[in-house]
Amino acid sequence: MPAIELTNPAALPADWRDLLALTKPRVMSLVVFSGLCGLLAAPAVPPLVLGFTAILCIALGAGACGALNQWYEADIDAKMRRTANRPLPAGRMDRQSALHFGVGLAFFSVILMGLATNWLAAVLLAVSILFYVLIYTVWLKPRTAQNIVIGGAAGAFPPLIGWVAATGHVSALPLLLFAIIFLWTPPHFWALSLFVRSDYAAAGIPMLPVVAGVPSTRRQIFLYSLPMAAAAVAPSALGLTGAVYGVSAAALSFVFVVLAARVLANRATAPAQMAAEKKLFAYSVFYLFALFAVLVADRWLTA
């Protein structure tokens, strides 16, 4: 039989590595970590297997969001260097497979969460998936520069879901954790969008630097870092955590605000000269990891 050249890889069954790539594993790691911290910071620790299943469901829910986001944005991803090699824009799989995979993961994660933990956690997981896909990806992202501000709520759900999976109810601390991620998201994403704004402009996505300009975005980054810092120290100020968390949150947030002030002071417009923005973006990831790790450490040290 003569060898046939693979001119249309999308006609083949998708490779499992491409299915995995659809779930955005790197984004999933932060979601899993914050969900795990929400679960471990809760006053009631569930049996190990139920805790593991809750985190697995949060991870699968995040994977579903990633797959459905890539299904919907395949055309936009093809226009951006950063995303052009994803399975759909690169033509390695067909869109319908991505849609089925994403919807399947979403249903599976919500039902398993309800069966293993409680149905309030399952409802919150379903709301977070629907919020990310319908409110953020489909509605806000292509329409308004405030997409990240409101859409940030989707990424703020995991610690709340982790807490509710452990306790079965919502209380003040997980709502503050929600607020921290909600207020952290704009400065985090705007720092990134400043030095990749040409990509967003080429794809026609109205990110703040594209619509309002670089100086305005720098001002917004700094302004958002202030309430974010206040939300970060609030759990300690309200007596919901111990001094370990309070001191650490204050120090970590102080550095965040200083780096945001450096971004505000930067006058460069060329991405190559945006060292301050790149530093803030890298630190913002470390900041969230460190803040939530300290929260769990504080909970277990003072227990």
15 binds other proteins (CB under 8 A): yes
Of the candidates 23, 21, 15, 14, the one whose C-alpha atom is nearest the C-alpha of residue 97 is: 14
Determine which residue in the list 88, 115, 122, 301 makes contact with other proteins, applying CB under 8 A.
Answer: 115
In the bound complex, what is the minimum distance in angstroms from residue 56's beta carbon to other proteins? 8
For the record, the structure tokens of 67 come out as 């797959």
In the bound complex, what is the minimum distance in angstroms from residue 105's beta carbon to other proteins? 12
Determine which residue in the list 42, 59, 60, 116 makes contact with other proteins, applying CB under 8 A.
Answer: 116
13 binds other proteins (CB under 8 A): yes
How big is the site for other proteins, counted in residues (CB under 8 A)?
A: 16
Residue closer to other proteins by CB (options 49, 272) is 49
Residue closer to other proteins by CB (options 57, 65) is 57
Sign of CA dihedral 226, 231, 237, 238: positive
Distance CA 171, CA 280 (A): 31
Task: Report the C-alpha dihedral over residues 211, 152, 137, 86, rounded to 10 degrees.
Answer: 90
* CA 64-96-203 angle, 5° bins: 75
Distance CA 174, CA 166 (A): 12
**Burial label, 146 (beta-carbon count in 10 A; 0-12, 13-18, 19+):** middle
270 binds other proteins (CB under 8 A): no
75 binds other proteins (CB under 8 A): no
Contact string 24-53 vs other proteins (x = CB under 8 A): -----------------------x-xx--x
In the bound complex, what is the minimum distance in angstroms from residue 95's beta carbon to other proteins? 18
CB atoms within 10 A of CB 293: 15
Residue closer to other proteins by CB (options 15, 75) is 15
172 binds other proteins (CB under 8 A): no
Distance CA 229, CA 183 (A): 9
12 binds other proteins (CB under 8 A): yes
Distance CA 209, CA 197 (A): 6
125 binds other proteins (CB under 8 A): no
Residue closer to other proteins by CB (options 116, 221) is 116
C-alpha separations of 207 from 110, 149, 191, 247 in Å: 31, 11, 11, 35
Residue closer to other proteins by CB (options 60, 259) is 60
Binding stretches for other proteins (CB under 8 A): 1, 3-4, 6, 12-16, 47, 49-50, 53, 56, 115-116
